[in-house]
Amino acid sequence: MAEPLLDPTWDAPQADWRKWLGRWRGWIRPEVLERADRLEEQGKRVTHFDFSGLAVKKVWSVTFVQWGFAIVYPFLVCLVSVCPAPYEPFARYPNWVYLIFLFVVAYSFWHEIQALRYVLCTYAMYCAPFSLFGLRLTSTKWLMFVGMVGLTSHADLLTNGLFLSKILTTVSCNGPKAETIQLIWFHTIHKSVVGWVPGFDHLDSLMLIGWGLMFFQPLLCFLYTWPLLGSEVDYGVASMPNGYETPWTFIWRRCGGRRVVHHADALQMLGAVNRMTSLTDKMLTWCKARSYEEMRGVRPNKVFRALDIMYREYSRITHRLWLVSIMEKAFMLEVQVTVFAISRSLMPQDMPFWLRLDGQLLISIVLSGMTYMKVLYDSWSQDRTMCKFVDTIKRHPDYIEKQDDDDVKTIMSNIRYKQWVSSRMGMLVLVAFLVHSLTKFIMAFVCKDSLWDIPMHDGPGLDWKGCVDLGLYLRPN
């Protein structure tokens, strides 16, 4: 039997979503369920257009609270940190500073839950049952999964701030260890492939750069979602069908780009910036379902609309890949692993193995690594989803009929560009950073002085394995 042109699960009985939600159906906002019942009687389903405005209102405050706290957090930690002991390379902060961040995470989770009560019905009606690694999940298991992932996703705000506070406190102590660390860092950077980059040879400057890169995210979010001054925006049910202007659309309109933003677009941007996994996890899957639904419609431009739905979401994903995952996460993982290696090099080599581990640095690296692996998996999964979608659409008779239309050719060309240049190139860069960071971490336990660099040249200070000789600084006599 021939493979169906469109995924048959989208034609499954709509009552299935109620069964999948189970007891969580009563947790969804009553007005959402009422609208779902009313639309189902008309053969329709609740979309993000219906309730995204109300969800946006629930999450906007989190952006200010969470990112405002991210600004002041490292400097608060500096105030309670202590200078390193004679046997310690870096300053230490009290363990209770982790608890401070939990209050901010709890605030974020509370508002995420309130927003999810508006949009979970939409995801369930189009995408249930949800799956992970090819395995179907119950609603309870999915909620537990996105909750754990969401908690981990906040880790970069925590670890980046703690790393910065540790470095700034160490430098401010101005002891012999601080001077040695600066010399080792200067030596290491100038023997690496990034030695030419201004500011990279000063550890405190580099940490400030890496920490500051995080704030491109809320800045971009503000430009993308905040209405232009003077705009009247309604955040009610099924509001703003024609969208509204933001600083982002105001800029891109002059370059021939999009003219408006809709509440659903704003919600996804806010959800991504604030690490609200439950609001963003199924968005591409939902867009695929909406595109298939569009292809079953009768609009004359349905092929273009189906492709455009996926293209817009895929564009947001690839923007986040480069602006968030690579510029911030990959960069900071590299720095954190290098600092960990320096910490080992400065500890007496006759100490027991476990005493040469800086537990605070190690916890930060583990948390950063977990979020990094999630980003890498998401990128692969999203690329796979997009490939399957494009392959399916290309076999559809309506696409075959319209494939030579200018608008269809243009958007399909844009999708291919995003796949190869933005998505797959980005994944290669992520993998390269991961391999390099993992190698540095392993070699921290292999090299005598714990530091490793790519052995691209022969000469003093670097052996054939890439181990850096720091004897000049560690064993001056």
User: What's the pLDDT score for residue 6?
Assistant: 46
Q: Give per-residue pLDDT as tens, 230-252.
A: 788 999 999 999 999 999 888 87
Rounded distance, CA 62 to CA 101, Å?
13
Percent of the residues in the chain that have a pLDDT greater than 90, as a whole number: 58
Residues 6+ apart with CB under 8 A from 451: 184, 188, 338, 341, 342, 345, 443, 444, 467, 468, 470
When pLDDT is averaged across residues 418-427 and rounded to a whole number, the result is 93
Q: pLDDT tier at 458 (50, 70, 90 boundaries)?
A: low
Q: pLDDT tier at 181 (50, 70, 90 boundaries)?
A: confident
Q: Give per-residue pLDDT as tens, 56-93.
A: 999 999 999 999 999 999 999 999 999 988 878 899 99
pLDDT at position 3 over 80: no
Of 168, 176, 155, residue with least CA distance to 91: 168
Helix (H) / strand (E) element for 161: namely helix 155-173
pLDDT at position 155 over 90: no
Quote the mean pLDDT of the chain. Answer: 88
pLDDT at position 474 over 80: no
Backbone phi, psi, residue 296, to 5°: -85, -5
Task: Spell 339-356 as b/e; 16+ CB within 10 A means b.
Answer: bbbbbbbbbeeeeeeeeb
Higher pLDDT, 207 or 288: 288
pLDDT at position 364 over 50: yes
pTM beyond 0.75: the answer is yes
Q: Residue 373 CB: number of other CB atoms within 10 A?
A: 13
User: What's the pLDDT score for residue 15?
Assistant: 46
Q: pLDDT tier at 457 (50, 70, 90 boundaries)?
A: low
Higher pLDDT, 280 or 474: 280
pLDDT at position 14 over 50: no
pLDDT at position 469 over 50: yes
User: What's the pLDDT score for residue 470?
Assistant: 83
Q: Give per-residue pLDDT as tens, 370-413.
A: 889 989 999 999 999 999 999 999 999 999 999 999 999 999 99
User: What's the pLDDT score for residue 256?
Assistant: 62
Rounded distance, CA 392 to CA 23, Å?
35
* Pairing between β-strand 135-136 and β-strand 131-132 as defined by DSSP bridges: antiparallel
